[in-house]
Amino acid sequence: MRRTFVHPLLAALALAGMSAPALAADNGFYVGGSVGQANIEADLGNVADFDEDETAFKVFAGVRPLDLLAFEVAYVDFGSPSRSIGPVTANAEVKGAAAFGMLYLPLPLPVVDLFGKVGFARLDTRIDSGSFRLDETDTDLAWGVGGQLNFDSFAIRAEYERFQTDSGDPDMISVGFTWTFL
């Protein structure tokens, strides 16, 4: 009896060991989306400073030609936070496009990826507060760090991103997914 129990157990362990590399991230083209929390900071001149958190999202597409290298483009929407400043309400909107080069850290675990990314973002910033109006479009540095857990072509991703603009430096922490297709 014991012998028949050991063989199926060994077979299951062997199959699990052989399937682990199949969980590694696929190289190729991918698409994805994330949702998270953004922080928008802006200098409203002599009136006040704007510093509010809001739910944000992004959609992105990229290509990972090598295990350690990827290129990604994204549309980012930091939401529409508002803040009362005395008798008036300040409303903000920050959104735009970004392009990143990404480097992946080589890890012995094929199901986990850690990455850093750097690139440029073109963000439209609009803030209205009574008689004060800010309407800027900036192209500047953007960077981020993150990690993902891979399940064949599907991955769950968490990341932090920071964007620079002339009116403030919005940032975002998000959780999302990617789907890789070859």
What are 65-124's pLDDT values in tens digits?
Answer: 999 999 999 999 999 888 877 777 888 899 999 999 999 998 998 899 999 999 999 999
Q: Which two tokens stand for residue 159?
A: 């990341």
pLDDT tens column, 120-169: 999 998 888 777 788 899 999 999 999 999 998 999 999 999 999 887 88
Mean pLDDT of 27-56: 85
Given pLDDT bands bounded at 50, 70 and 90, which one contains residue 173? Answer: very high
Angle 123-124-128 (CA atoms, 0-180°, nearest 5)?
140
Contact 139, 125 (CB under 8 A): no
The burial class, CB within 10 Å (0-12 / 13-18 / 19+), for 12 is: exposed
- Count of CB atoms within 10 A of residue 47's CB? 15
Q: Residue 43 has what pLDDT?
A: 67
Residue 1 has pLDDT above 80, yes or no: no
- Written as one letter, the residue type at 72 is E
Contact 179, 153 (CB under 8 A): yes
Q: Residue 44 has what pLDDT?
A: 64
Q: Which two tokens stand for residue 50?
A: 């704007």
Mean pLDDT of 18-41: 77
Residue 9 has pLDDT above 80, yes or no: no
Q: Residue 15 has what pLDDT?
A: 40
Distance CA 167, CA 140 (A): 11
Of 19-23, 30-34, 106-110, 129-133, which gets the smallest average pLDDT?
19-23
Q: Residue 27 has what pLDDT?
A: 87
- Count of CB atoms within 10 A of residue 104's CB? 19
Q: Residue 78 has what pLDDT?
A: 94
Helix (H) or strand (E) holding 2: helix 2-19
Given pLDDT bands bounded at 50, 70 and 90, which one contains residue 12? Answer: very low
Contact 150, 13 (CB under 8 A): no
Cβ-based neighbours of 101, under 8 Å, separated by 6 or more:
69, 70, 71, 117, 118, 119
